[in-house]
Amino acid sequence: MNYYLVDYENVKTQGLNGVNKLSEEDTVCIFYSENADSLTFGLHRRLNESKANIIYQRIEVGHKNALDFQLSSYLGYIIHENINNPCDYYIVTQDKGYESLINYWKKRKINVNLVINVAKQNEQSMQNELEKQVAQLLKDKADAPVVAKMIQNYKTKQGLHTALMKTFSSKDGKKASDIYAAIKPLIADKKGV
């Protein structure tokens, strides 16, 4: 049994990559706030396809690290509730502040891990996977690492398009436009048109 505690303010839709591949023995708890409370249609579809138990936790904001404290408290609660059951716990975030919490539980022989999505990927493995996907779509495979990094760094389609135009500049903008058209399936969850 796996528990995934998702810091949605931090990872947004990318943190739920792989949710549709989880089993009915998995539980995903999405911690969100008024600062991050919307889903794309793509993510909504993946959540509906998932066999996992999905829990939504709307957290109270107003104080620094409010979500972090509530997620940490919930982790302690579910560890206590499952003390006699073998479970793995995953905090889905890019916030390194959770490392002290993970170390606390590891010293007590509780398996808590920090990942950036429910597919249990760390940043490097996610970058490698994205590079492979981009390389399959591009004519010039050598551009894949740069384009993959841009996809990860830009939150909106417009921001990504602008970065591509600057990086792959030409008089007619054809190369940047071709790259953008090729990677559209990979950026469907980003904001913008």
Write out pLDDT tens, residues 105-123: 999 999 999 998 888 765 5
- Which DSSP state fits 35? T
What percent of the chain is modeled with pLDDT above 70? 96
Task: List the structure tokens of 131.
Answer: 């590079």
Asked if 135 contacts 168 with a C-beta cutoff of 8 angstroms, the reply is no
Taken in order of first residue, the domains within the chain and their CATH numbers are: 2-115 (3.40.50), 123-187 (no CATH)
Strand partners, 3: 27, 89
pLDDT digits (tens, 9 = 90+) for 123-143: 566 677 788 889 999 988 999
pTM for this model (two decimals): 0.66
Task: List the structure tokens of 34.
Answer: 């008024």
